[in-house]
Copies of this chain bind each other. A is one copy, B any other.
Amino acid sequence: MPGHFTFYCNKIEGDLAFFDEVESKHAIQVLRYGVGDEIHFTNGAGLSMRGTIENASKGGFSVRIIESIQINKPLELHMLMAILKAGDRMEWACEKITELGVTQFTLFQSDHGERGRVNVERLQKVALSAMKQSHGAWMPQIKVVTFKEAMEMAKHIAGKYIAYCGEGEKAGMAEVKLPAAVMIGPEGDFSVKEFEAAQNQGWKPLDLGEQILRTETAVVAVAAALRLR
C-alpha cells in the first residue's frame, strides 16, 4: 500500500507530522492504514516525505518522518481565468491545471464575464486532492481578484500573455517560454478597455489558433501545451 497514495500534512514539528481529521478519515478509516505502516505525504510546498504511523485515531494521526526530500518548485506558470458562471467548470480547470503543475491559479472579474462569488475553499480542496492523486508536492496558489489586481499580480514576470480573440498582431504559443503568465478571458472575450490596459502593462496578445475554445478549455490547453514540450 505505501507509495500508492500521497497524503497531505501541513503540521510538522521536528520529525513528527500531525495529520488532520480529513486525512485521517481517508488513511485510517477508508484505506485502513494502522500503527507501524509506512506512509508517503507532502506539505504542498515542495516537501515530499516518508514516515511510519505512530498513533492513529479517526480524529487524527501522527507520523515519525523517516525521509524528507525537497522537490524543486516547477518553473512559474501562472494561469489567470475569467470567473465562470458554472462552478463545476472552474473546479474542473483547477483540478487539471494542478495535475499539470501550474504554480498559480487566479480567477478574475472581467467586463464581459461573471461576477458571481467563487468558492475558493472548494477550489483549494479540489487542488489538494488533485495534487495527492498525481503524487505532486506543490499546491497552486489560488486567488480571486479584480481585473486590475490580476494584471498587477504578474508584474515581475517578463512573459505575460493575454489570449485576446480580436484582430491584430499576436504571439504564437511557440514564442511562450516559462516562467510565464497567461490570461484567458470570458466567453464574450476581454473588453477593448481591458485589452488596452493589459497591453499598456506589458501583456502581449496571444494567438490560440483557429478553433474557438471554451474559457476553461483554453486554460487547461495552454497549461498542457507549456508543460508537455
- Can you tell how many copies of this chain the complex includes? 2
Q: Which residues of B contact A16 (CB under 8 A)?
A: none
Assess the B228–A222 pair: CB atoms within 8 A: yes
With contact pairs A92-B92, A220-B220 given, residues A99 and B228 touching in the complex (Cβ less than 8 Å): no
The residue in A213, A214, A229 that gathers the most chain B C-beta atoms within 10 A of its C-beta is: A213
Q: Which residues of B contact A101 (CB under 8 A)?
A: 211
With contact pairs A96-B220, A100-B221, A220-B96 given, residues A227 and B214 touching in the complex (Cβ less than 8 Å): no
Q: List 27 A-B contacts (CB under 8 A).
A: A92-B92, A96-B217, A96-B220, A99-B211, A99-B217, A100-B211, A100-B213, A100-B221, A133-B214, A134-B211, A134-B212, A134-B214, A136-B211, A136-B212, A174-B229, A208-B228, A209-B227, A209-B228, A211-B227, A220-B220, A220-B221, A221-B224, A222-B224, A222-B228, A224-B224, A224-B228, A225-B227
